[in-house]
């Protein structure tokens, strides 16, 4: 379900929620069918759909805002063909049933609010054009990605970060865990080291918290690799702490091009990382991810224990980092960039956090929660006890920092 603003009309709210449900159901079905990149050729090969329907399905799955997906919705007969193709591909029954239900629910909402598809599309275009959130065109961002890749000599298919917060052992303290890094990071010229993570934890008053530790128990020393979710052999990594208190993790130079492509994730934990007692910031918690690597896709996930359920609608944004200033996502001097940073609410059912572009991502989420539970206590670290929020953006501009902010309860 989408996180909406109070200014949206009932049509936009209802239809966007239905379209987001369809997107999530379709992405899960494509994952189960073994489709990693939802282009028409890959979908045609895996499902036997003609390229016209395959193209529409891919566009729906990749749409940056749910309302944009309405333009590519197949007709009722086409929807039945799509569901039947997934059944023939032997995706699990709950997956194709949810896809069928999502198509049906969307048709009902179109009938209720618009009467027919053409009217619904016109209303969706009007809602998008009148949005208070203008966006940098994806084609412009794609060109920026290509140019930046050539200039800096590196690129990644996916940059991702997932953070988890849960009550700590002490009153009004919070334990944190999470992982971040890159999928298919490649160097385009030789001799280039590359920073894959920059991490510190501060409390809501801006004071640096206790030091974090590797989350994966197999780690040696201070290199917190997430072993099962990195390339084999493990990437060569080094670390150092800078003047601002950040720990920087740098990938050593390696082979150029696709043969040197690596998956490199670091995973950390911090007990009683944040003390919100007496905070001057109204208990606002921010998680952020620095974008300094040209990437095809950015994904930022935040999982919040239900006992810390946000008091207000979560916020998200992308801030420029051209002007060097405070490292806090909201403390820098650069203004927010106009990009479609749409917040999704994730299911915490098994598989509900899947990423079409990253097979095994749901396994990484479950591994992180399990390892955190081993450290902090399983009674507070069960995935179904968390609320999940996600923002994703294709071809994020660099240098920037993406963030999600929530307001914590005053007592928990």
Q: Please tell me which residue, 328 or 234, carries the higher pLDDT value.
A: 234
Tokens matching residue 348:
């915490």
Residue 1 confidence (pLDDT): 38
For residues 81-100, give the mean pLDDT. 93
State whether the Cα torsion 231-237-241-244 is positive or negative.
Answer: negative
Query: Would residue 5 count as lying in a domain?
Result: no
Query: Would residue 312 count as lying in a domain?
Result: yes
- Same domain? 104 vs 185: no
Residue 271 confidence (pLDDT): 84
- Same domain? 106 vs 189: no
- Same domain? 39 vs 152: no
Report the alpha-carbon distance of residue 211 to residue 394 in Å, rounded: 33
For residues 330-336, give the mean pLDDT. 59
- Same domain? 144 vs 108: no
Per-residue pLDDT tens over the stretch 288-313 = 888 999 999 999 999 999 988 887 88
Residue 26 confidence (pLDDT): 92
φ, ψ of residue 264 to 5 degrees: the values are -140, 110
Query: Would residue 335 count as lying in a domain?
Result: yes
For residues 248-260, give the mean pLDDT. 86
For residues 40-53, give the mean pLDDT. 88
pLDDT level of residue 8 (50, 70, 90 thresholds): very low
Query: Would residue 2 count as lying in a domain?
Result: no
Q: State the Rg of the chain over Cα.
A: 21
Final residue of a structural domain among 129, 151, 182? 129
Residue 183 confidence (pLDDT): 95
- Same domain? 183 vs 292: yes
Report the alpha-carbon distance of residue 386 to residue 358 in Å, rounded: 21
Least confident stretch, 87-96, 200-209, 290-299, 305-314 = 200-209
For residues 19-25, give the mean pLDDT. 89
Provide, rounded to the nearest whole percent, the portion of the chain with pLDDT above 70.
Answer: 86
Tokens matching residue 373:
């539970």
Residue 379 confidence (pLDDT): 80
Top-confidence range, 205-209, 236-240, 309-313, 383-387: 383-387
Final residue of a structural domain among 95, 111, 129? 129
Reduced to 3 states (helix: H, G, I; strand: E, B; else coil), residue 322 is: coil
Query: Would residue 1 count as lying in a domain?
Result: no
Residue 277 confidence (pLDDT): 58
- Domain membership of residue 107 as a residue range: 10-129
pLDDT level of residue 98 (50, 70, 90 thresholds): very high
Query: Would residue 331 count as lying in a domain?
Result: yes
- Same domain? 251 vs 167: yes
Residue 281 confidence (pLDDT): 55
Per-residue pLDDT tens over the stretch 274-290 = 666 555 455 778 888 88
Least confident stretch, 105-114, 122-131, 188-197, 327-336 = 327-336
Report the alpha-carbon distance of residue 29 to residue 180 in Å, rounded: 25
Per-residue pLDDT tens over the stretch 367-383 = 999 999 998 987 879 99
For residues 385-394, give the mean pLDDT. 92
Query: Would residue 287 count as lying in a domain?
Result: yes
Provide, rounded to the nearest whole percent, the portion of the chain with pLDDT above 90.
Answer: 36
Measured between its terminal Cα atoms, the distance across the chain in Å is: 25
Counted domains in the chain: 2
Least confident stretch, 148-162, 179-193, 205-219 = 205-219
- Same domain? 200 vs 56: no
- Same domain? 64 vs 199: no
- Same domain? 143 vs 124: no
For residues 42-63, give the mean pLDDT. 89
- Same domain? 300 vs 245: yes
- Same domain? 376 vs 329: yes
Residue 6 confidence (pLDDT): 36
For residues 35-56, give the mean pLDDT. 87
For residues 249-263, give the mean pLDDT. 88
Q: Please check the confidence at residue 91 and state whether its pLDDT lies above 70.
A: yes
Query: Would residue 80 count as lying in a domain?
Result: yes
Q: Please check the confidence at residue 106 and state whether its pLDDT lies above 80.
A: yes
Interhelix angle for 51-62 vs 76-88, to 10°?
Answer: 90
**Residues listed for the chain:** 412
Pairing of strands 154-167, 173-187: antiparallel
- Same domain? 161 vs 270: yes
**Closest to 404 measured CA to CA, from 278, 282, 304, 256:** 304
Residue 274 confidence (pLDDT): 66
pLDDT level of residue 3 (50, 70, 90 thresholds): very low
Final residue of a structural domain among 77, 112, 129? 129
If you average pLDDT over every residue of the chain, what do you get? 83
């Amino acid at each position: 379900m989408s996180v909406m603003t109070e200014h949206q009309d009932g049509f936009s709210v209802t239809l966007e929620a239905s379209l987001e449900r369809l997107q999530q159901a379709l992405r899960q079905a494509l994952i189960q069918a073994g489709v990693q990149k939802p282009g028409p050729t890959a979908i045609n090969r895996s499902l036997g759909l003609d390229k016209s329907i395959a193209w529409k399905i891919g566009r729906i799955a990749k749409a940056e805002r749910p309302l944009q997906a309405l333009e590519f919705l197949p007709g009722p007969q086409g929807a039945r063909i799509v569901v039947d193709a997934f059944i023939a591909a032997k995706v699990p029954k709950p997956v194709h049933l949810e896809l069928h239900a999502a198509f049906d629910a969307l048709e009902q909402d179109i009938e209720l609010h618009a009467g027919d598809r053409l009217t619904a599309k016109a209303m969706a275009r009007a809602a998008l054009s009148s949005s208070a959130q203008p966006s940098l065109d994806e084609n412009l961002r794609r060109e920026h990605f290509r140019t930046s890749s050539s200039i800096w000599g590196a690129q990644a298919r996916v940059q991702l970060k997932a953070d988890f917060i849960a009550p700590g052992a002490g009153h009004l303290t919070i334990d944190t865990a999470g992982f971040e890094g890159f999928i298919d990071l490649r160097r385009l010229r030789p001799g280039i080291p590359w920073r894959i993570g920059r991490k510190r934890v501060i409390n809501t008053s801006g004071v640096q918290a206790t030091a974090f530790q590797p989350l994966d128990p197999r780690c040696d020393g201070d290199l917190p690799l997430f072993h099962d979710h990195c390339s084999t052999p493990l990437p060569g990594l080094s670390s150092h702490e800078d003047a601002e208190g950040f720990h920087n993790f740098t990938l050593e130079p390696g082979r150029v091009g696709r043969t040197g492509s690596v998956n490199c994730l670091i995973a950390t934990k911090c007990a009683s990382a944040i003390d919100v007692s007496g905070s001057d910031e109204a208990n606002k918690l921010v998680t952020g991810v620095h974008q300094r690597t040209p990437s095809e896709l950015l994904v930022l996930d935040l999982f919040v224990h239900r006992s810390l359920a946000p008091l207000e609608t979560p916020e998200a944004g992308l801030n420029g980092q051209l002007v060097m200033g405070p490292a806090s996502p909201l403390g820098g001097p650069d203004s927010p960039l106009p990009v479609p940073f749409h917040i999704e609410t994730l299911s915490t059912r098994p598989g509900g956090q899947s990423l079409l572009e990253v097979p095994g991502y749901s396994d990484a989420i479950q591994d992180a929660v399990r390892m955190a539970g081993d450290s902090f206590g399983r009674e507070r670290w069960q995935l179904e006890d968390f609320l999940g929020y996600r923002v994703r953006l294709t071809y994020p501009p660099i240098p920037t920092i993406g963030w999600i902010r929530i307001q914590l309860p005053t007592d928990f």
